[in-house]
Amino acid sequence: MNSEFGIRPDRLLPAPGGLGGEFYEKAAATGNLHLQRCECAVWRHPPRILCAACGSDKWTWEPVAGLGRVFSWTITHRPTDPAFAAELPYAILVVELDEGPRIVGNLVGLAPEALQLDLRVRVVLDHRTDTVALVDFAPVN
Is residue 67 pLDDT above 80, yes or no?
yes
How many Å is the Cα radius of gyration of the chain? 15
55 contact partners, CB below 8 Å, separation of at least 6 = none
Give kind and range of the element (H or E) at residue 21: helix 18-30
**105 and 93 Cβ atoms separated by less than 8 Å:** yes
**39 and 58 Cβ atoms separated by less than 8 Å:** yes
Looking at the DSSP assignment, which residues form a beta bridge with residue 69? 96, 120
Could you tell me which CATH number the domain at 18-139 has? 2.40.50.840
Rounded percentage of the chain residues whose pLDDT exceeds 90:
79
**2 and 136 Cβ atoms separated by less than 8 Å:** yes
Per-residue pLDDT tens digits for 72-128: 999 999 988 888 888 899 999 999 999 999 999 999 999 999 999 999 999 999 999
Total-model pTM: 0.90
Please give the Cα distance from 40 to 122 (Å, whole number). Answer: 26
Please give the Cα distance from 121 to 135 (Å, whole number). Answer: 12
Please give the Cα distance from 45 to 71 (Å, whole number). Answer: 15
CA atoms within 13 A on the CB side of 131: 9
